[in-house]
């Protein structure tokens, strides 16, 4: 009944505004577009395997960014029988719609983690805990992520190699960045040294964006910056964001790497299957299989060649520790017998920013959810995949700075400004997604809740603070404990973010932004007001109050040479002291690169696939 009522209203609306529809699609086109989209997903998604064999050559734990790339590359070898195990379910059609990105965090495709309360971060969040979403779905965090594609700086990888990890220098890994790439931005694709058009992952600019993104680039030029392709020679400068999108839809790792190999007979996938343990022979120290639960049934499956752990930077250390690989003292505390004593879970790194740095404007050019979620826009989206629904809700432009070397064009960026054509007040979902305390939110943002705004995340790229993942207990169904330890360093991290805040304010004063009468929103956070709004001390307090993760959790199973006391895996990603077990995901990064971590994780997995093939005598192309 209710449904029919809505259809009736919708039809009336469509007929009344048919003059607009004539240009932007019609209800008929939208319905056939919707069917086309559903079919694409239905025909693309790998079905849950009906049969699970007692053994496979390789078992991959986790179908996230790394797991999907790896499953694709390993099953190129017909002799390799692979089982991919994923705790979450299928990727759904609505997950492809860019504007819904933040909304996906409220579905069961999110592990929904929270950090433990700490003194110097997340103070303004509910119960002092920051929300750390992670993908629990085929495609992993690449289904929840904001689709920004950045590789980082050459020094990131030269630093990995310099620390004793041969083969990870920029010159060597560039070919793996290019291998997965299908650059569809014609101007950038011409630069063949850095870009490729033959990979699986399409990169595009969204067809729709607000004029504020142009203002951001112009403001950059006005203040002495320049516009660059940050995925080429140098990173320092301003740019529209390159997104992992295809024709107005999300390209998750699942869509890019699993859809095309749906018919491969040597790949099985088990969905909604939670790995509870890696099986390791305590005498030979060989990983010989995994245990998992699926649909109320327990499975024990063997790996003839290798078990590969790709469960991400939070779950991979948890699974290792539950399986007896980790810091001995901590395992003993939890009644786990240690098989190898390794610093699993340490070295946790992330990128974070001051959240809620807001500027109000005098026009209606920013994103506001009530203007986006209109029937017209929905019809346009399903007809042509264009319009505001095809854009990742306001995240439009980016800039990189080297605060230590501000005048060098080839600097090593330690600061990013992420420009959003909206703010905490433009979408009701943001407050929930970041888990901002209601009192704080109402006091500071309530008075501007109906305004047009833009926002910048001043984000730290090379943090010195480090956190840790610990077990709550040995139950694999319980969430591990996350100690983010934001701002626990000697003061470096807060100073970089402060420079970002000052830079964002400088940009707001340019002609480009004054055209919109941009004004820094100046209601102080209640707990910081005593420092005086806009003083350095005020901002230090603010960034510890609205501390926003940019979701680049990594580095908890550090790659390093044998002599590195912090290392968990060797430069070929094999777990020290164990045979037949590798970790391939964002957890192996020794340091977080000056990049959003999805592209670097794909690169890691591409390279890992070649190393695995090499180790099993398969020729590499």
Ligand X SMILES: *[C@@H]1O[C@H](CO)[C@@H](O)[C@H](O)[C@H]1NC(C)=O
Ligand Y SMILES: Cc1cc2nc3c(=O)[nH]c(=O)nc-3n(C[C@H](O)[C@H](O)[C@H](O)COP(=O)(O)OP(=O)(O)OC[C@H]3O[C@@H](n4cnc5c(N)ncnc54)[C@H](O)[C@@H]3O)c2cc1C
Token readout for 292 is 């998992």
Of the two residues 146 and 235, which places its CB atom closer to ligand Y in the complex? 146
Q: Which does 385 bind (CB under 5 to 8 A by kind): ligand X, ligand Y, none?
A: ligand X
Calculate the dihedral angle through the C-alpha atoms of 299, 304, 308, 309, rounding to the nearest 10 degrees: 30
Catalytic member of 552, 553, 591, 596: 552
Element (H, E) at 456: strand 453-460
Contact with ligand Y (CB under 6 A) among 33, 312, 388, 571? 312
User: Is residue 542 a contact point for ligand Y (CB under 6 A)?
Assistant: no
Q: How far is the CB of 335 from ligand X (least distance, A)?
A: 4
Contact with ligand X (CB under 6 A) among 15, 36, 370, 506? 36
Q: How far is the CB of 364 from ligand X (least distance, A)?
A: 8
In terms of Cα–Cα distance, which of 469, 468, 467 is closest to 322? Answer: 469
| Contact yes or no for 583/568 (Cβ under 8 A) | yes
Token readout for 417 is 């400004």
Contact with ligand Y (CB under 6 A) among 218, 242, 246, 310? 310
> Which residues from 427-466 bind ligand Y, rule CB under 6 A?
none
Of the two residues 346 and 551, which places its CB atom closer to ligand Y in the complex? 551
User: Is residue 38 a contact point for ligand X (CB under 6 A)?
Assistant: no
User: Is residue 335 a contact point for ligand X (CB under 6 A)?
Assistant: yes
Contact with ligand Y (CB under 6 A) among 45, 57, 86, 606? 86
Q: Is 521 a catalytic residue?
A: no
What is the distance of C-alpha 595 from the center of its chain?
11
In terms of Cα–Cα distance, which of 346, 543, 578, 586 is closest to 457? Answer: 543
| Contact yes or no for 180/602 (Cβ under 8 A) | yes
Q: Which does 517 bind (CB under 5 to 8 A by kind): ligand X, ligand Y, none?
A: ligand X
Sole window of 55-63, 411-419, 445-453, 480-488 interacting with ligand Y (rule: CB under 6 A):
55-63
Binding mask 267-306 for ligand Y (x = CB under 6 A): -------xx-------------------------------
Binding mask 463-502 for ligand X (x = CB under 6 A): ----------x-----------------------------
| Contact yes or no for 67/80 (Cβ under 8 A) | no
Q: How far is the CB of 382 from ligand X (least distance, A)?
A: 7
DSSP notation for 289-351: EEEEEETTEEEEEEEEEEEEE-SHHHHHHHHHHHTTEE-HHHHHHTT---SEE--TT-SBB--
Q: Which does 400 bind (CB under 5 to 8 A by kind): ligand Y, ligand X, none?
A: none
In terms of Cα–Cα distance, which of 350, 398, 351, 367 is closest to 149? Answer: 398
| Contact yes or no for 609/566 (Cβ under 8 A) | no
Q: Which does 18 bind (CB under 5 to 8 A by kind): ligand X, ligand Y, none?
A: none
Where are the extended beta strands (E) located within 136-236?
181-183, 201-203
| Contact yes or no for 240/397 (Cβ under 8 A) | yes
Calculate the dihedral angle through the C-alpha atoms of 49, 52, 56, 62, rounding to the nearest 10 degrees: 60
User: Is residue 247 a contact point for ligand X (CB under 6 A)?
Assistant: yes
Q: Which does 36 bind (CB under 5 to 8 A by kind): ligand X, ligand Y, none?
A: ligand X
> Which residues from 569-588 bind ligand Y, rule CB under 6 A?
585-586
Contact with ligand X (CB under 6 A) among 363, 438, 535, 562? 363
| Contact yes or no for 133/113 (Cβ under 8 A) | yes
Positions marked active-site: 552
Residues near ligand Y, by CB under 6 A: 61-67, 85-88, 133-136, 140-142, 144-148, 274-275, 310-313, 315, 319, 551-552, 585-586, 596-599, 601
């Amino acid at each position: 009944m209710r449904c029919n009522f809505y259809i009736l209203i919708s039809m009336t609306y469509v007929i009344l505004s048919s003059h607009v529809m004539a240009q932007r699609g019609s209800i008929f086109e939208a319905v056939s577009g919707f069917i086309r989209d559903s079919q694409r997903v239905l025909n693309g998604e790998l079905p849950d395997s009906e049969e699970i064999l007692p053994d496979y050559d390789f078992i991959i734990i986790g179908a996230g960014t790394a797991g999907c790339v790896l499953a694709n590359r390993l099953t190129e070898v017909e002799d390799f029988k692979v089982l991919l195990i994923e705790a979450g379910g299928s990727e759904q059609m609505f997950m492809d719609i860019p504007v819904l990105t933040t909304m996906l965090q409220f579905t069961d495709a999110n592990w929904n983690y929270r950090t433990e309360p700490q003194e110097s971060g997340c103070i303004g969040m509910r119960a002092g805990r920051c929300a750390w979403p992670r993908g629990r779905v085929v495609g992993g965090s690449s289904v929840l992520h904001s689709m920004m594609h950045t590789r980082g700086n050459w020094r990131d990888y030269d630093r990995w190699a310099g620390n004793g990890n041969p083969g990870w220098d920029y010159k060597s890994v560039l070919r793996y960045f290019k291998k997965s790439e299908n650059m569809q931005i014609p101007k950038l694709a011409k630069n063949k040294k850095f870009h490729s058009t033959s990979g699986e992952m399409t990169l595009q600019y969204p067809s729709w964006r607000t004029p504020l993104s142009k203002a951001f680039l112009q403001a950059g030029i006005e203040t002495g910056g320049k516009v660059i392709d940050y995925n080429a020679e140098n990173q320092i400068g301003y740019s529209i964001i390159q997104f992992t999108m295809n024709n107005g839809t999300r390209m998750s790792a699942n869509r890019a790497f699993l859809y095309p190999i749906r018919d491969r007979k040597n790949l099985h996938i088990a969905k909604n299957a939670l790995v509870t343990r890696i099986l390791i022979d305590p005498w030979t120290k060989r990983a010989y299989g995994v245990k998992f639960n699926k649909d109320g049934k327990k499975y024990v499956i063997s790996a003839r060649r290798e078990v590969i752990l790709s469960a991400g930077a939070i779950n991979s250390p948890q699974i290792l520790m539950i399986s007896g690989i980790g810091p001995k003292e901590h395992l003993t505390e939890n009644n786990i017998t240690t098989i190898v004593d390794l610093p699993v879970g340490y070295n946790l790194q992330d990128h974070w920013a001051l959240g809620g740095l807001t500027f109000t404007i005098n026009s209606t050019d920013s994103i506001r959810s009530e203007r986006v979620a209109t029937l017209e826009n929905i019809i346009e989206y399903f007809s042509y995949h264009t319009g505001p629904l095809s854009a990742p809700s306001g995240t439009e432009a980016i800039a990189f700075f080297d605060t230590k070397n501000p005048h060098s064009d080839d600097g090593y960026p330690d600061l990013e400004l992420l420009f959003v054509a909206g703010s905490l007040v433009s979408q009701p979902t943001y407050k929930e997604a970041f888990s901002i305390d209601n009192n704080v939110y109402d006091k500071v943002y309530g008075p501007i809740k109906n305004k047009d705004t833009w926002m910048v995340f001043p984000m730290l790229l090379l943090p010195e603070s480090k956190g840790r993942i610990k077990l709550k207990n040995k139950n694999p169904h319980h969430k591990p404990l996350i100690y983010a330890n934001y701002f626990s360093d000697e003061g470096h991290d807060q100073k970089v973010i402060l420079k970002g805040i000052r830079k964002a304010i400088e940009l707001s004063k340019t002609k480009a932004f004054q055209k919109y009468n941009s004004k820094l929103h100046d209601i102080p956070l209640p707990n910081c007001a005593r420092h005086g709004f806009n003083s350095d001390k005020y901002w230090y307090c603010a960034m510890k109050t609205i501390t926003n993760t940019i979701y680049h959790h990594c580095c908890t199973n550090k790659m390093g040479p044998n002599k590195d006391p912090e290392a968990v895996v060797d430069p070929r990603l094999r777990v020290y002291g164990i045979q037949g077990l590798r970790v391939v995901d964002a957890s192996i990064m020794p340091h977080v690169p000056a990049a959003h971590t999805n592209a670097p994780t794909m690169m890691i997995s591409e390279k890992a696939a070649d190393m695995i093939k090499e180790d099993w005598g398969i020729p590499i192309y």
